[in-house]
Amino acid sequence: MSKVIIMDHPLIQHKIGIMRKKTTSTKEFRALVAEVAGLIYYEASRDLPLADKVIETPLMKTTVKEIAGKKLCVVPILRAGLHMADGILNLTPNAKVGHIGLYRDEETLEPVEYFCKMPSDAAVRHIFLVDPMLATGGSAVAAIDLLKKRGIEKIRFLCLIAAPEGVKRLQEAHPDVDIYIGALDTKLNEHGYILPGLGDAGDRIYGTK
């Protein structure tokens, strides 16, 4: 079964608290999405393999560490994942980026795919799939289905807020994908929104409601 890692760092808890407030502005909300994503990524990248590399400092040769192999790929689920990707790219600007376009049908709550574009070497990279909200889990499961159909296997999923229902569905569908969560909330409401949550993440990032 996959690992579920719930963040307990005070900075993350503090910033998510601000994001939850309905009075937080679009500008501040957007900045916080990127900041919190970077902090979660710090934890989610903790076990990346390192390799030794010999370099020269201004004084002498020495051996330093660098992340081994073909490295990293960030994959935001559109729309709301895009700003999480920005926060991650601030820390690892050389990571490649794939995009998956999915939206939730408002009636059925099932994900509808509209876009998928991945780097050609994504299968040999560590994939950080990001979406602020893990609600029913339908979008995350569908995104990972799409990646696996392309032969992409080394996947971690990062979200800001999760509902227990989404965590369960994702773990059952993809027991090999570790899940990194900023805050684990109580439950879903009858419209599939996370409670207490922060509302519609895409609308709050882009000011579309």
Compute how many other C-beta atoms are within 10 angstroms of the C-beta atom of residue 203. Answer: 14
Count of residues making up the chain: 209
200 binds ligand URA (CB under 6 A): yes
Contact 98, 122 (CB under 8 A): yes
Specify the 3-state DSSP secondary structure of 106: coil
70 binds ligand PRP (CB under 6 A): no
Which residues from 99-158 bind ligand URA, rule CB under 6 A? Answer: 133, 135
- Piece of 7-15, 21-29, 93-101, 200-208 that binds ligand URA (CB under 6 A): 200-208
Is the link from the previous residue into 30 a cis peptide, with omega within 30 of 0? no
Smallest gap, in angstroms, from Cβ of residue 14 to ligand URA? 20
- Piece of 3-11, 41-49, 75-83, 114-122 that binds ligand PRP (CB under 6 A): 75-83
Residue 34's contacts (CB-CB under 8 Å, 6 or more residues apart) are 83, 84, 86, 87, 90
Please indicate whether residue 156 is annotated as part of the active site. no
Both tokens of 164, joined, read 């227990």
What span, in angstroms and rounded, lies between the C-alpha atoms of 151 and 177? 14
Smallest gap, in angstroms, from Cβ of residue 170 to ligand PRP? 8
Please indicate whether residue 108 is annotated as part of the active site. yes
Contact 96, 72 (CB under 8 A): yes
Specify the 3-state DSSP secondary structure of 181: strand
Smallest gap, in angstroms, from Cβ of residue 162 to ligand PRP? 9
Both tokens of 132, joined, read 């602020």
Both tokens of 47, joined, read 């076990």
When CB distances are held under 5 to 8 angstroms depending on the partner's kind, the choice from ligand PRP, ligand URA, none that residue 77 binds is ligand PRP
Smallest gap, in angstroms, from Cβ of residue 109 to ligand PRP? 6
Which residues from 129-158 bind ligand PRP, rule CB under 6 A? Answer: 131-140
Catalytic residue among 26, 47, 62, 108: 108
Residues in touch with ligand PRP (CB under 6 A): 77, 79-80, 102-104, 109, 111, 131-140, 166, 192, 200-202
Just list the catalytic residues: 104, 108, 200, 203
